[in-house]
């Protein structure tokens, strides 16, 4: 199932979907095939193992749109800027290293941005179906993923405890906050 919403105070809509067992024979070839499907829509693909739920990606996209609109963006493209905010890194190569696709079978998170709600949902579904089995559960946290994300995003258990909410929600919120603070690192 695709999660979709309008980005407030913009002309953009965003959709997020998860894909289980995507067979990535060649990252470059896969991206080329997905570009054909996406058409004018903007997309980004992520290693779902590095995603702390759909909220993580939605906030990354919102921050990316706002950064481009205000001139605070690190990159010149919405897809790359979204990757930067999601990865919490201001270096494109590091962001791809952390969250990018790799050759092999993997779970993938799909994000699509477009100017029409119908288009964003349709393109997200088409891209997800092309990649493998649409399954949003690959975006969710579970104990091993929780521990891996804490390490990957350098979030301490102490910070999670201080949040005072359910640990998975706290981790997601802290990752979102870390990404949101990206412009301050310039």
Residues 110, 127 contacting (CB under 8 angstroms): yes
Task: Classify each residue of 89-103 as buried b or exposed e, where b means 16 or more C-beta atoms within 10 Å of its C-beta.
Answer: bbebeebbebbbbee
Cβ atoms within 10 Å, residue 108 = 25
Task: Classify each residue of 50-79 as buried b or exposed e, where b means 16 or more C-beta atoms within 10 Å of its C-beta.
Answer: bbbbbbbbbbbbbbbbbbbeeeebbbeebb
Residue 1: pLDDT band (50, 70, 90) is: confident
Cα(99)–Cα(2) distance, rounded to whole angstroms? 20
Cα(29)–Cα(105) distance, rounded to whole angstroms? 15
Q: Is the pLDDT of residue 28 over 80?
A: yes
SS3 179: helix
Residues 82, 64 contacting (CB under 8 angstroms): yes
Q: Which pLDDT belongs to residue 186?
A: 58
Number of domains in the chain: 1
Bridge partners of 87? none
Cα(92)–Cα(61) distance, rounded to whole angstroms? 15
Q: How do residues 32-72 score in pLDDT, each as one tens digit?
A: 999 999 999 999 999 999 999 999 999 999 999 999 999 88
Q: Which pLDDT belongs to residue 74?
A: 87
Q: What is the CATH number of the domain that holds 111?
A: 3.30.2380.10
Residue 118: pLDDT band (50, 70, 90) is: very high
Say which residue the tokens 């994300």 belong to.
149
pTM above 0.85, yes or no: yes
Query: Which residue range(s) make up the domain with 125?
Result: 3-185
Q: Which pLDDT belongs to residue 184?
A: 78
């Amino acid at each position: 199932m695709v999660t979709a919403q309008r980005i407030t105070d913009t002309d953009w809509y965003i959709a997020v979907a998860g894909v289980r067992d995507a067979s990535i024979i060649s990252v470059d070839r896969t991206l080329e095939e997905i570009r054909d499907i996406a058409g004018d829509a903007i997309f980004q693909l992520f290693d779902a193992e590095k995603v702390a739920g759909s909220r993580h990606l939605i906030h990354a996209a919102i921050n990316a749109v706002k950064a481009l609109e205000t001139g605070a963006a690190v990159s010149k493209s919405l897809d790359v800027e979204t990757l930067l905010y999601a990865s919490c890194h201001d270096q494109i190569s590091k962001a791809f290293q952390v969250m990018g696709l790799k050759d092999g079978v993997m779970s993938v998170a799909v994000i699509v941005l477009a100017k029409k709600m119908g288009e964003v949902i349709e393109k997200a579904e088409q891209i997800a179906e092309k990649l493998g089995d649409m399954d949003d559960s690959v975006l969710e946290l579970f104990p091993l993923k929780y521990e891996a994300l804490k390490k990957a995003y350098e979030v301490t258990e102490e910070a999670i405890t201080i949040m005072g909410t359910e640990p998975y929600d706290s981790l997601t919120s802290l990752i979102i906050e870390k990404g949101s603070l990206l412009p301050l690192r310039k």
